[in-house]
Amino acid sequence: MDDNFSTRAVHAGEERRKPYGALTTPIVQTSTYTFEDTAEILDFMHRKAAGDLPVRDEYGRYSNPTQSAAERKIAALEGGEQALLFASGMCAITTTMLTLLSGGDHLVMVSGSYRRTREFALTFLSRWGIETTLVPVDEPAALATAIRPTTRLIFSETPTNPYLRVMDLPRMVGIARQHNVTTIVDSTFATPINLRPLEYGVDLVIHSATKYLGGHNDLLAGAVVGSGKILGTIEKTRGVLGGVGNPHDAYLLLRGLKTLDLRVRRQNENGQRVAQFLEGHPAVRRVYYPGLPSHPDYEVARRQMAGFGGVVSFEIEGHGEDEDKTGRFIDLLCLPYIGPTLGGVESIVEQPAALLSLDRAERQAAGIKDNLVRYALGIEDADDLIADLNQALAGI
């Protein structure tokens, strides 16, 4: 990790001298921006048409000063030319795909991607004649075979949810370049602290900024990072579809980004210690964490990642897949909240099988076992987290 990452997280993207002498970037809470006279409007439109940047703000669906500061900071942390902020991570994904895909195109997606991302591709994109092929994250031969003359995008998450599979990015990028295909990586679980996919030649990086980038479970936002050429096209689509983030969430995101390095380093430490504890506990059948040698992608993760993240997934031991026993274990935990998110300062735990509106056969087909637990670790003391896990496991 760069030695100056925390410095960039605090200062990058923000003007040194801010309005009113404020220390933090103000929330510019307005939907529109006024002009002094007609001459100023005409000059603005001329400069905008000519691409003469920077151009002042015009309307809240296109840009906002608070939002722009957050975008510049995220771009600096990921090492991209530009970043765009959206109302949510899914909004970032859908707007990007709708920009880069047309009827008759083909998309290759890693099968372990977030279920709503898969749903958008398989259910919505298919309506417009866009086909999707799902491939396993660990089968480069399958990825190469899936490419067609009409393939325009390869989409992957790394690590994936909930089994934390890690895509070999150099291998994926190599396949994509052979076929002139654009690559997109959802790096929400990794964060730019642990992995910066653009450095491996990936074209676009996406984040659900709701998670680690915000870090406090109090905002919804998404971000796309990449070259100015591609982002300029996506920005036009955002202006049409309207999925722009709001200035108050952008302000909260700016605040969260300043402590990203500190938070994620602590969550990395907690993740490693908790994973090692769980792997040695007799009441735990299996642990999924890329920082463990037992994980199938351990060697890939070691090559690519500076840390292995704050999410640990594991299976409770028992006869068969005991859904009730797993629920009792979760209810015995004292520190984490029960909920369907991750990345914040508070630890959050969930039983994925309980949160999916699927029957058992459908869950099993999707690879979600009844005894699976996903634990998203916060920044609490590791000793306290382990002690709490130990008492809950003893209780079942």
Q: How many CB atoms lie within 10 A of CB 31?
A: 10
Measured distance CA(385)–CA(269) in Å, rounded? 12
Catalytic: which of 118, 196, 211, 266? 211
Map residue 132 onto helix, strand or coil: strand
Distances from the Cα of 124 to the Cα of 102, 103, 127, 149, 302, angstroms = 13, 12, 5, 22, 36
Q: Tokens at residue 366, please? A: 């999707």
Does residue 43 carry a catalytic annotation? no
Does residue 114 carry a catalytic annotation? yes
Measured distance CA(255)–CA(132) in Å, rounded? 38
Map residue 192 onto helix, strand or coil: helix
Catalytic: which of 18, 47, 48, 61? 61
Does residue 61 carry a catalytic annotation? yes
Does residue 56 carry a catalytic annotation? no
Measured distance CA(55)–CA(131) in Å, rounded? 38
Catalytic: which of 114, 285, 325, 388? 114
Question: Residues with Cβ < 8 Å from 276, sequence gap 6 or more?
Answer: 292
Catalytic: which of 118, 152, 163, 186? 186
Structural contact between residues 335 and 380, judged by C-beta atoms closer than 8 angstroms: yes
C-alpha torsion sign, points 12, 16, 22, 26: negative
Residues acting as catalytic residues: 61, 114, 186, 211
